[in-house]
Homo-oligomer: A and B are copies of this chain.
Amino acid sequence: MGVGDRRVGIGLIGAGGIGRLHAQHLTSRVPGARLVAVADVDGKAAASCAEEHQVPSVYEDVRDLLADRAVDAVVICSPPDTHARIIEEAAARGKHVFCEKPIDCDLGKIDRALAAVARAGVKLQVGFNRRFDENFRYVREAVASGRVGEPRMLHIVSRDPRLPAPSQTQATVGLFLDMTIHDFDMARYLLASEVAEVYALAQSTAGRADPDTALITMRFASGAMGTIDNGQTVYGYDQRVEVFGSEGSVRVDNEQPHRASVVDRSGTHGALPLHFFVERYAPSYIAELIAFTDCILRDTEPPVTGHDGRMAAVLALAAQRSLEEKRPVAPKELSDD
């Protein structure tokens, strides 16, 4: 049950892969939510999603969903270039907003969306689900509590088990705004410091125009330094971090489907990492939605704000510029936060 048995009426916008994952969690794992409506420009996708999860209202036009009085809040899973506009419209209707990353690829549009949210006084939470993973929370706490001392070095490894299909988001917005944006947010989250400079190297290993493998170097305002390593693996989802500090180091290794191992003539053999984000981050997808409904029901600040969404996008854009201009780029060149 939600707080005081109240539940937030949720309208899901976008019934693709990530939308359906959220729909499943909203109906069975998020006590404070009631999935009351689904909208998708592809009416069939909306209808089948609604049927599977017994959602009462189905729309093709997002405006109709936003006009639905049962909808207290929206979960935006439509294509990235629609996010900012939908945020503005939802805010104007007084709906709270959970939005998948990125908010937008254009800082001007992000700023207009955030301004609309501020004006309307609604909640906006951005889908940086990894902040809710038990592993990264542990690291954040080890850093924040001073257990590893003053942070000096951060390493993030974040590799996918396969390239996205050309039609998928990454192909549209590029590696940095689709994939690395999670890691930029993780960097800010773990060290609680802004990034003062980024330097990006990248390579295309799959014969596409866009890079699929990248190494981003960061200098933080705090003086700490860090790296993000993005790539495509043959062995599953590789999601590790390390923070090295003046009093010690904290590391996260990959989660695995089991803890069994075999030793035979040829060596010791263990499991692969969990395969991809659905396997690895299911609990954090659930936790971020619980946090979202909680912040509405309790009227508190969302744990991941619009500002967080904006700053991660700024870093992604700075990395893009660094790659193009072959030089370190200060995020301040793009935005004066």
Contacts and interface: CB of A to CB of B under 8 A. Distances in A.
Contact of A248 (B29, B153, B264, B271): B264
A69 interface: no
A228 to B, nearest CB: 10
Interface in A196-218: 199, 201, 203, 205, 213-215, 217
B246 A263 contact: no
Contacts of A255: 259
A188 interface: no
A268 B269 contact: yes
A272 B261 CA distance: 12
Interface string A307-337: 0000000000000000000111000000000
Interface string A213-234: 1110101000101110101011
Contact of A252 (B254, B260, B268): B260
A272 B262 contact: no
Nearest to A327: B327
Interface residues of A, number: 65
A27 B131 CA distance: 29
A163 to B, nearest CB: 12
Interface in A227-266: 227, 229, 231, 233-235, 238, 244, 246-255, 257-266
Interface stretch (A13-21, A119-127, A135-143, A167-175): A135-143
Copies, count: 4
A235 B261 CA distance: 13
A267 interface: yes
Contact of A139 (B213, B214, B215, B260): B260
A159 B147 CA distance: 19
A250 B254 contact: no
A225 B201 CA distance: 7
A259 B263 contact: no
Contacts of A266: 269
A219 B215 CA distance: 9
A74 to B, nearest CB: 25
Nearest to A197: B201
A246 B232 CA distance: 8
12 contacts: A148-B264, A201-B225, A203-B225, A227-B229, A234-B248, A235-B248, A248-B262, A251-B261, A252-B258, A267-B270, A326-B328, A327-B328
